[in-house]
Amino acid sequence: MNDPLRTVRDAVREGRFQDAAAALTAMAEPLREGGEWHLLSAMTTWRLGDYAASRQAALEARSRFRARGDTDGEMRAEHVAAAGAFGLGDLAAAEDEWSRVRELARRLRDDLMVARCANNLGNISLYLARHDAAHGFYRLARAGFEQLGFIHGVAETWINTAITWRDLRHFEDAAAAADAALETASAAGAPRLVAEALSSRGEAMAELGDMALGRTQVERGLALARREGDRLAEPDALRILANIARLEGQATDAVRIARDALAAAQALGHPWTIGEVQRDLGAAYLALGRRADAVRAFEAAAAAFDRLGATPRADQMRARAAER
C-alpha cells in the first residue's frame, strides 16, 4: 500500500529533520488534511527549534485525531503539544499535558509512551529544582526503556541524570552518568545524544579539575551538535566552554564565549537555556570585575527562570544580583 508519509517518518526517526521539513512542505494539499501530517510537522519543527509552530501543529493534529476517534493519535499529538509548551517555558501546561498522556498511555498499554512521559516529567522536576523527584522519574523512565530495549531513551535518561547531578554539584556522579550516556548514545547510533553526552561529561571533568580533557570533550560535542543542526545543544556547549575558560582564569575569553552562547540561546528562545547562560555570563563578568554587568546578567537569568515558573531558581539569581 502506498504511504506517502513513510519517507517523512523515516527521516524523523533517523534525526534528519531538515529533510523531513522539506518533504512535508513539498507534499500536495490533500496530504496535509490528516492528523498525521500535522503531527509529523509538529515533531519536525520542534527539533528545528520553532516551539510555537510545533505546539500549534500538534494541537491541530490532536483536534483532527480526536474528530475521527483516533485515541492513539490524540495521545501522540498531545505528547508533542506538551513538548512545545515545555520549549516555550510553560511548565504548568507541559506538566498537566504529560501527566494526562501518561495516564492515557497506561490505559492503552503503551509502555514506551509511559516511559517517555516519565522522562519528560523528570525534566520539569529538574527545572523546578525538585531533584529527588527528577531522579525518581528518570529511574522509572530508564527502567521502562531498558525493558523495551529502547537504547535511545536510555541514553536520554542518563544525560538528564548527569545534568541533575551537575545541578547538585555532585560532579563525580555527573561524570559517571555522562559516561553511561555516552556509551548508550553511541550504541544507539544517535549523534545528537552523543554530542550532549560529550558536553555533559566534559563539564563534569573540568569541574573535577581536568580542564584539558573537559575542553576537548565539550569542543567535540559542540562540533557534532553543529554538524547535526542541534540548536539546543550548541548554546549549552558554548556555555560550558565559557565556564572552563573562567575556571582557567581566562575571564575575558569566558565573557566572549558566554555572549556567543547567549546569542544562540536567544535566537532559539528557550527560557531554560537563556537562564543558564545568563547565570554563567554573570559569573564570568564577576571574574572580570564587571559587577554592574554581572548584576544585569543575574537579573536577566531571574527573568528567564520566572518565565518558566521556576521560582526557586529565579530567587537564587535575585539573591546573587543583590550580593555586595
**Per CATH, which fold does 1-109 belong to?**
1.25.40
- Residue pLDDT, tens place only, 66-79: 999 999 999 999 99
d(CA 89, CA 308): 5
**What cell does 56 get?**
500549534
pLDDT of residue 15: 73
CATH homologous superfamily, domain 231-324:
Tetratricopeptide repeat domain (1.25.40.10)
Rg (CA), the chain: 20
Give the global pTM. Answer: 0.86
Q: What is the largest CA-CA distance in the chain?
A: 70
Name the residue among 63, 43, 66, 67 with its Cα closest to residue 55: 43
pLDDT of residue 82: 95
> Which one-letter DSSP state was computed for residue 246?
H
Is residue 28 predicted with pLDDT exceeding 80?
A: no
Question: Between 3.40.50.300, 1.25.40.10, 3.40.50.620, 3.40.50.720, what CATH number should domain 127-219 receive?
Answer: 1.25.40.10
- Residue pLDDT, tens place only, 34-78: 788 888 889 888 888 788 999 999 999 999 999 999 999 999 999
Q: What is the mean pLDDT of the chain?
A: 93
Q: Number of helices (H) and strands (E), helices first, in the chain?
A: 17, 0
d(CA 153, CA 139): 12
* Contact between 42 and 30 (Cβ < 8 Å): no
Per-domain boundaries in the chain: 1-109, 127-219, 231-324
Residue 203: what residue type?
E
* Contact between 265 and 242 (Cβ < 8 Å): no
Query: Which residue has 492515557 as its cell numbers?
Result: 104
* Topology agreement, domain 1-109 and domain 127-219: yes
